[in-house]
Amino acid sequence: QKEVEQDPGPLSVPEGAIVSLNCTYSNSAFQYFMWYRQYSRKGPELLMYTYSSGNKEDGRFTAQVDKSSKYISLFIRDSQPSDSATYLCAMGPFGNEKLTFGTGTRLTIIP
Residues that bind another protein (CB under 8 A): 6, 8, 32, 34, 36, 41-46, 49, 51, 88, 90, 92, 94-99, 101-104
Closer to another protein by Cβ: residue 50 or 73: 50
Q: How far is the CB of 49 from another protein (least distance, A)?
A: 5
Closer to another protein by Cβ: residue 45 or 78: 45
Q: How far is the CB of 87 from another protein (least distance, A)?
A: 12
Please answer whether residues 24 and 91 qualify as being in contact, where contact means their C-beta atoms are separated by less than 8 angstroms.
no
Please answer whether residues 58 and 48 qualify as being in contact, where contact means their C-beta atoms are separated by less than 8 angstroms.
yes
Q: How far is the CB of 11 from another protein (least distance, A)?
A: 16
Report how far residue 37's alpha carbon sits from residue 20's, in angstroms, rounded to the nearest whole number: 14
Q: Give the chain's end-to-end CA distance (angstroms, integer).
A: 37
Closer to another protein by Cβ: residue 14 or 98: 98
Q: How far is the CB of 71 from another protein (least distance, A)?
A: 18
Report how far residue 51's alpha carbon sits from residue 106's, in angstroms, rounded to the nearest whole number: 24
Could you tell me the CA-to-CA distances from 37 to 7, 26, 69 in Å, in that order? 15, 23, 24
